[in-house]
Amino acid sequence: DVKVTQSSRYLVKRTGEKVFLECVQDMDHENMFWYRQDPGLGLRLIYFSYDVKMKEKGDIPEGYSVSREKKERFSLILESASTNQTSMYLCASISGGTTFGGAFFGQGTRLTVV
């Protein structure tokens, strides 16, 4: 069974903390994505990566950075957490090339910044 695993289901952090959200996939997918999901706003793309050490900004990258040192792992970093980053964060992976297909999602991390 294919898997995308996010390191935490729930997190509570303080304003100003540096926060790491980890995502691991076991499908050897080239493409990995970080979204945040907020009511009424759908899933908004923060960053994506199409290869190891390669990354591109999505639609709302401000306040975030990412790291992809290994193909299976894609980390989202909140450099200095703020209350407006309280949200559900979803990681996804997608195969590339001619097998480009539907996204496989992790279970989500609900982050609360206090």
What does the binding site for another protein look like in residue numbers (CB under 8 A)?
Answer: 30-31, 33, 35, 40-45, 48, 50, 56, 58-59, 90, 92, 94, 96, 100-103, 105-108
Report the C-alpha gap between 107 and 27 in whole angstroms: 16
Closest distance between another protein and the C-beta of residue 56, in Å? 6
How far lies 6's CA from each of 40, 98, 99, 100, 114, in Å? 23, 27, 24, 22, 21
Closest distance between another protein and the C-beta of residue 48, in Å? 6
Closest distance between another protein and the C-beta of residue 47, in Å? 11
